[in-house]
Structure 1
Amino acid sequence: MPHHRAILEGTDWASLATVCGTGGSLPTTLARFIDPDPVVRTAAVDDALREVTHQNTIYEATVPVACYVAAVLHHPVIAAGDSGTDAGMPPHRPTVVRLLEWLGDTAYDADDECVAISERHCGEGFLDEDREMRAFRELRPALFSAVRPLLDHDDAQVREAAFVAAVPLAEHPALATHRAELVGHARRLLATGTDRHHRDRALDAMKAWGHDTGDLENADDIAARERYARLKAERDSWWAAGGTGGYSESPPF
């Protein structure tokens, strides 16, 4: 991965499409990701990622932003965490966790399932036409290399966020050998973690990789799985009925 300054200075940001225009302001905002003041960092992360995050779309500016995020994950300011935050401030997730979460969410927006869905709707040549998604998918090995060291971080928040980001990145064929390592991290997460989203990702990954999860699920996992299945059945029924009727509750998708 190039140095973060090289990414800022070597990218023609103003020529790249974002959610509402072009990325001309991104270099200034991205540079504040490593500001010593956690308040400045938080605002910068909000502002920059908002420019490339909307309705599961990969924009032209998404790939260089992802490169920059990966390049600063281990920067001393980011690695030091936000322990110096004023005690009077409302609690917030550490910068490194927020960046990992964004990488993971974006990777899921470009994963094999999303490609398969798009190909069903747009034809098998979908990836040939979607240069932005293709570019992000090609970047996955480099992103994984940046995320991987954080899988063993001392902070459980960081470990779990790194794992959730690593799973969709590891779909790249060049990373297949790393999936066995991720299974070990999934087991660790499922043994101690309580976050519903993280547990779902871990269980889904293990099932996708051919592992039995029966001995790893707890009562909440089983209840969540049954609820998701019920909502999926209701959604399928709704589509089959031409979009009439409703759900018993809001679906998780």
Structure 2
Amino acid sequence: MRRYLALFLPFLPTERWRSPQGGVAPDEVSPFALVERKNNAHRLYALNSAALDQGLAPGLTLADARARLPQLRVADADRRADRELLLSLAAHCELYTPLTALDEPHGLALDVTGCAHLFGGEAGLLALVGKNLAALGFSARAALASTPDGARALARFSSGGVFSPDEAAEAVARLPLAALEVEDEILLALSRAGLKTIGDLASRPSRAFAARFGADFPRKIERLLGREDLRLTPLRPPPDCMVERHFA
């Protein structure tokens, strides 16, 4: 049975700016946002926790945000720098497993099959990864499950933790429909039908969903529930297996 560790860094862009390299002094109290030009307007791309607590959200125009919160501090977003940072964090995570991959946006996926015992078990591994990321200045939520899709959903839409296959299926079933990470139109259609959680979808025939939303939709549900393992592609390909035998 394979085991996957998903890491979600929800404040990675703003925490990059808060780092010494970013040039902005660490300040959790002051609302801070990164902006980018989109649809002929400057819009919020990423926010720190203080800005989120004030009711701001990504996608809001800068003019609206400033009207609501005049003291908002802003800087230009840099998606390339965010990705380079994520790549460096993926390299850092090779301390725990050679099989690491990007899980964008702002996440990492690690295949930790057979590795956890080196770090005091799965709970010990989770604690160590969180501690080391915090020491680097990044907050993260982590979930460990038997499929990468299930681990991702639990890291992004729950408080995370270590989940056995049965526990992961039960926890994913309780997640909101947003864990599907599909278009807003699909979420609206599902909510209008009275469906609220992943478990509500799992209890319905998959044919109806396939006919309405495409053949991939039921497979997405299966992967979230841990019934299908779609292996991740690591950034560093695993080495070829080589066997040597010496004769006299």
TM-score computed with the length of structure 1 as normaliser: 0.32
More helix by share: 1
Larger RCO: Structure 1 or Structure 2 (Cα < 8 Å, ≥ 6 residues apart)?
A: 2
More strand by share: 2
The structure whose Rg is larger is 2
TM-score computed with the length of structure 2 as normaliser: 0.33
